[in-house]
Amino acid sequence: MGVLKMKKLLLSAVLIAPSLVIAESSSKIAWTPELLNFVKQGNADKGKQLAIACSGCHGENGVSPMPGYPSLAGQLATYTYKQLRDYADNSRSHPLMSSVAAGLSEQDTADLAVWFSTLALPPQKKADPKSIQRAKKLATRGESKRILPPCSSCHGTEGQGEVMDIPALAGQQPEYFSETLKAYKTGDRSNDVYSRMRLIAKQLSEEEIDDLAQYYLQLK
pLDDT band at 16 (very low <50, low <70, confident <90, very high): very low
Of 36 and 11, more confident: 36
Within this chain, domains 3-24+124-217 and 33-118 share the same CATH topology: yes
pLDDT band at 25 (very low <50, low <70, confident <90, very high): low
pLDDT of 13 strictly over 80: no
pTM of the model: 0.87
Name the β-bridge partners of 143.
148
Angle between helices 33-40 and 106-118 (to 10 degrees): 60
Q: How many CB atoms lie within 10 A of CB 156?
A: 16
Q: Is the dihedral of CA 134, 139, 141, 145 positive or negative?
A: positive
3-24+124-217 falls under which CATH superfamily? Cytochrome c-like domain (1.10.760.10)
* Per-residue model confidence as pLDDT tens digits over 118-132: 999 998 899 999 999
What pLDDT is attached to residue 134? 96
d(CA 102, CA 86): 9
Query: Percent of the chain scored above 90 by pLDDT?
Result: 81
So where are the chain's domains?
3-24+124-217, 33-118
* Per-residue model confidence as pLDDT tens digits over 41-82: 999 999 999 999 999 999 989 999 999 999 999 999 999 999
159 alpha carbon, distance to own chain's centre: 10
- Classify domain 33-118 by CATH number: 1.10.760.10
> What b/e readout covers 197-216, taking b as 16+ CB neighbours within 10 angstroms?
bbbbbbbbeeebbbbbbbbb
* Per-residue model confidence as pLDDT tens digits over 135-180: 999 999 999 999 899 999 999 999 999 888 899 999 999 999 999 9
